[in-house]
């Protein structure tokens, strides 16, 4: 009771601060912009000294790794007023923005800005700059355990991005469409390498009209950590790792090998401009996934099957040595269901990594493996100490006891309504964790979560119960309570 009394007082202070901010930010522009503004409070406790898995996973690093917390947040979203004019013609330009501010009290006080961006649309294309919550990869984005390459597990990083928010039809019959984009981001001072950059690009194609019963979608995304400076990396006996401490001393020259990753195979980089380590392998840390999905729309049911195939070495794409790895999922939506409205089941496997294919040793990778999310220069595929991809892969900065990128897990999610204004979401996952090829472990883990959400007018009241049981994480039971209200 002492803890809750203390945090109740803190909560009133947070609420006052956030209400004051909302008056300052939106008071002068309310008549013209009409943004959607939300205010919320949330508190949580747990039996262990850490946050339960399902509270922190895929939540953009918004929760502390602590036994208790209280936070207040203010969220504003201004979407495009309309994509079309009165004559149903597409508007040439439109503008929007978004921002979220979180004030958090736990072991320490934190001010978090998960989102702060401005977006500009020209016809079907969008340009945005800032921090923005995103997920990459074909999956059920609402109910998934986490997209492999970019799951929303880490705080969004500042980026400039141009992309197609939706699929664009090719031709007048709309049977074939595409989704594409490219971005540049900044990691900042994030590890032993400072000032390095993010490069992203993706291209997905879809067969099937928007209202077709059957749609097939496939594509690839390419992610790169590159550049930066470090005075801690040392050259090995075979390769130079930096040139005067810089990993990309000539950024524009190196960029051609990032835009066209296969160019390096045909035109080797100049060793005076690209360190030998990158020149012999690839410029930066290059990785991604190849995805495919199949969707069928019935009268009362929508079926979605998907596969995310990871790659860390490009040769794994054409020799299929790691074909058994990846995220495999099925999502069944029941829009008219009374009690149950969605079932999502997923299986993830990453033990092969190109060394074994269905139990048979493969030599085509020259003894190397797709060491998912790990790299010889850059510490891991992470941002501010959080994995960017699936939260089930661990690195030492997250968990001092072990590395873990060889694992398999089984996941089930159920979502529905108990009453018209009372909904629930149940998540369960069981994993077996094997560490890495160089540092083996054998640990099992179960994590479960039950969330109830009640709609009371313009407010949402939520309670979430979570449990961790196993040897990978501390034994833990947690509870969180939250309130959110739409102000405008």
What is the share, in percent, of the chain residues with pLDDT greater than 70?
87
Average pLDDT, the chain: 88
Nearest one of 320, 291, 169, 316 to 219, comparing CA atoms = 291
Q: What stretches of 356-471 adopt beta strand conformation (E)?
A: 356-357, 360-361, 382-383, 386-387, 407-419, 422-435, 440-456, 459-470
Pairing of strands 360-361, 356-357: antiparallel
Q: What is the reported pTM?
A: 0.89
Query: DSSP label at 156?
Result: P
Q: How is the chain split into domains, by residue range?
A: 121-227+284-486
207 in Cβ contact with 175 (< 8 Å): yes
pLDDT of residue 32: 42
pLDDT of residue 83: 61
Burial letters for 59-83: b for 16+ Cβ neighbours within 10 Å, e otherwise? bbbbbbebbbbbbbbbbbebeeeee
Q: Which residues contact 340 (CB under 8 A, 6 or more apart)?
A: 334, 414, 415, 416
Distance CA 151, CA 169 (A): 27
pLDDT in tens, 346-387: 999 999 998 888 877 776 656 678 899 988 788 789 999 899
Nearest one of 77, 73, 67 to 19, comparing CA atoms = 73
pLDDT value at 8 more than 60: no
pLDDT of residue 189: 84
Q: Which residue has the tokens 């195939």?
A: 309
Report the pLDDT averaged over residues 21-48: 68
pLDDT in tens, 166-205: 999 998 888 999 999 999 999 998 778 899 999 999 999 9
160 in Cβ contact with 184 (< 8 Å): yes
CATH superfamily of the domain spanning 121-227+284-486: Capsule assembly protein Wzi (2.40.160.130)
Distance CA 268, CA 271 (A): 9
Q: How confident is the model at residue 28 (pLDDT cuts 50, 70, 90)?
A: very low
CA dihedral 472, 372, 223, 202 (to 10 degrees): -90
């Amino acid at each position: 009771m002492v803890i809750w009394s203390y945090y109740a007082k803190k909560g009133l202070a947070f609420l006052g601060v956030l209400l004051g901010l909302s008056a300052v930010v939106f008071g002068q522009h309310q008549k013209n912009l009409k943004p959607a503004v939300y205010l919320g409070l949330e508190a949580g406790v747990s039996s262990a000294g850490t946050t339960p898995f399902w509270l922190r996973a895929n939540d953009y690093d918004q929760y502390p790794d602590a036994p208790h917390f209280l936070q207040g947040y203010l969220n504003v979203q201004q979407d495009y007023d309309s994509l079309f004019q009165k004559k149903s013609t597409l508007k040439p330009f439109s503008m929007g923005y978004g921002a979220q501010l979180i004030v958090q009290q736990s072991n320490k006080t934190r001010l978090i800005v998960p989102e702060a961006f401005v977006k500009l649309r020209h016809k079907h294309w969008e340009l945005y700059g800032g921090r923005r919550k995103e997920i990459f990869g074909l999956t059920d984005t609402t109910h998934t355990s986490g997209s492999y390459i970019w799951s929303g597990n880490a705080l969004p990083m500042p980026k400039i991005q141009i992309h197609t928010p939706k699929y664009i039809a090719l031709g007048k019959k709309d049977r074939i469409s595409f989704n594409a984009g490219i971005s540049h981001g900044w990691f900042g001072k994030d590890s032993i390498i400072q000032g390095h950059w993010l490069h992203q690009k993706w291209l997905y194609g879809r067969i099937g009209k928007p209202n077709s019963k059957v749609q097939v979608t496939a594509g690839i995304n390419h992610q790169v950590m590159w550049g930066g400076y470090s005075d801690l990396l040392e050259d090995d006996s075979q390769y130079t790792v930096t040139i005067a401490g810089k990993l990309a001393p000539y950024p524009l020259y190196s960029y051609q090998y990032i835009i066209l990753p296969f160019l390096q195979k045909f035109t080797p980089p100049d060793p005076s401009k690209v360190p030998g380590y990158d020149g012999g392998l690839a410029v930066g840390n290059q990785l991604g996934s190849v995805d495919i999905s199949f969707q069928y729309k019935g009268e009362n049911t929508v079926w979605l099957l998907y596969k995310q195939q990871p790659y860390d070495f490009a040769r794994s794409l054409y020799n299929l040595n790691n074909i058994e790895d990846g995220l495999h999922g099925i999502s069944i939506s029941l829009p008219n269901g009374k009690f149950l409205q969605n079932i999502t089941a997923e299986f993830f496997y990453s033990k092969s990594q190109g060394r074994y294919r269905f139990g048979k040793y493969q030599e085509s990778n020259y003894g190397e493996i797709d060491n998912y999310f790990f790299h010889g220069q850059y510490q891991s595929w992470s941002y501010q100490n959080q994995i960017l991809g699936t939260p089930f892969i661990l690195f030492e900065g997250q968990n001092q006891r072990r590395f873990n990128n060889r694992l398999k897990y089984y996941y089930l999610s159920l979502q529905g309504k108990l009453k018209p204004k009372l909904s629930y979401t149940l998540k369960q996952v069981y994993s077996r964790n094997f560490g890495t090829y160089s540092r083996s472990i054998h640990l099992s883990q179960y994590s479960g979560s039950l969330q109830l959400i009640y709609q009371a007018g313009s407010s949402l009241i939520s309670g979430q119960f979570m449990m961790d049981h196993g040897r990978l994480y501390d034994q833990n039971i947690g509870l969180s309570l939250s309130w959110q209200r739409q102000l405008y």
